[in-house]
Each structure stands twice: as C-alpha cells, then as structure tokens.
Amino acid sequence: MKSQRRITADEAAQIEQENNLAPGVIACDRPITEAEENYLDQVDAYPPLAFHATGPAGKIALYLVKRDYRLSEEDFFDQTRDLLIIGRGRSRFMNSREPLSLCVTNWGSKPDGSSAMSTSINSANIGTIFTGAPRCILLLPLFTQIPPTEFEERSPGRCMYGLQVAQIIHVDLISLQGAVSMRHFHIEDIPQLIN
C-alpha cells in the first residue's frame, strides 16, 4: 500500500516564510493538502516568467513559461514578455491590424505524449505578466485553521487549503496567431509585429 506524503517541518517553515506567517503556524507531520503539494512541487519559488490568464471554465490559470535554450535566458524572457504584451494590446482590429490570439503549447512529459496540449486564448484575457515573482503572489494561497481531533484540546495549527489560481499550466512554446491570416508569430517575429 502506498503511503500518503506528509508535510515536513522544513516544508511548513518554507510556506510560513514565503507567505509572511509566524513561525510554527503551519502544522507539520500531517498529510499534505493538495494545495500545498501543488504549491511546493509544481511551481518554483521564483519562476523567471509567468502570467495569469483566463483558463478552462473561465477561471484564472497560472501559465509558467519554460526557457528556450536557443537564446540567452535574459533575451528569451524579455522577448517572450514583449510578445505577451503585444498580444494583449492586439486583441481586436485596430488601425487595419488583425487581432491576435495567444497560443500556448506543452510538448508533454510522458513518452506517449499523453500530457501534451495546445490551446488558444483570447489575448484580451492575458492578465498580469510576472518576471521573478514569488510563488505566493502567483498562486494566492488560502489558509485555514485545522480543527482539533477528539484527542486534541486545540488545533494543531493552520494548513493551506486552496489556491485562488484554478490551474497551473507549464508552457513550452508561446506564439501569437492572426485571427484572419491564421499565421503564427514567434519571438523572432516581434519586429514585424511592432512595425
């Protein structure tokens, strides 16, 4: 039988520190919540580039952009941020320029490609774009007091019970797609998009 993962004292202390909570507030040595597991395992402490956008079912999703190693780290993240800003600014016809939608692709981590996905997002739904922001700002965790059991007089402490972000999506490739031409624009096409 597979044992359930338990939150350690170090993980609880990390959550407290990152969320400006007093030391010892987060209960440890208990089953980890799904929100805590997503917070600790799916998002780095300071992702280089991330953005909020409307995801499935109209809820806010966090998109984490992975680096393309063909460019320097600084160039890649600066140019990808610029591409997102251009897309957000061209969500409808303006000055005879076609609207652009945002296309995000994840190549998938499994050999059979079963987790691969590609989706198109209305670029008007791109929210805040973050560079190096702490994950507590990106995920907006929610905390609650753990109720005492019949063997305890008081609560053992608090836990993270949810995230205000509904979904975390890892992105391998970002492009903008013309609404009329259906042409895809990548970071190397930025000069063409701004002229």
Report CA dihedral (110, 115, 120, 121) to the nearest 10 degrees.
-110
Domain containing residue 42: 6-194
* pLDDT of the residue at 109: 65
* pLDDT of the residue at 98: 83
How far is the first Cα of the chain from the last one, in angstroms, to the nearest whole number?
Answer: 61
Specify if 19 maps to a domain.
yes
Q: How many domains does the chain have?
A: 1
Cα 168 to chain centroid, rounded: 5
Specify if 1 maps to a domain.
no
* pLDDT of the residue at 4: 86
pLDDT at 105 over 70: yes
- Written as six digits, the tokens of 139 are 């995920």
The residues, ordered by sequence, that sit 6+ positions from 48 with a Cβ below 8 Å of its Cβ are 65, 67, 73, 77, 131, 132
Specify if 75 maps to a domain.
yes
Return d(Cα 135, Cα 153) in angstroms, integer: 34
Specify if 159 maps to a domain.
yes
Q: Is the pTM of this model over 0.85?
A: yes
- Which residue pairs from 2-7 have beta carbons closer than 8 angstroms and sit at least 24 positions apart in sequence? 4/31, 4/32, 5/31, 5/32, 5/37, 6/30, 6/31, 6/32, 7/31, 7/32, 7/33, 7/36, 7/159
Phi, psi for residue 4 in degrees, rounded to 5:
-80, 140
Per the DSSP assignment, residues forming a β-bridge with 110 are none
Confidence label for 32 from pLDDT (cuts 50, 70 and 90): very high
* pLDDT of the residue at 57: 77
- What does the pLDDT average to over 44-65? 90
Question: Which run of H or of E encompasses 11?
Answer: helix 9-18
Specify if 88 maps to a domain.
yes
pLDDT digits (tens, 9 = 90+) for 110-169: 554 456 788 888 888 999 999 999 999 999 999 999 988 777 778 889 999 999 999 999
Per the DSSP assignment, residues forming a β-bridge with 192 are none
* pLDDT of the residue at 194: 81
pLDDT at 6 over 90: yes
Specify if 79 maps to a domain.
yes
Contact 163, 142 (CB under 8 A): yes
Specify if 130 maps to a domain.
yes
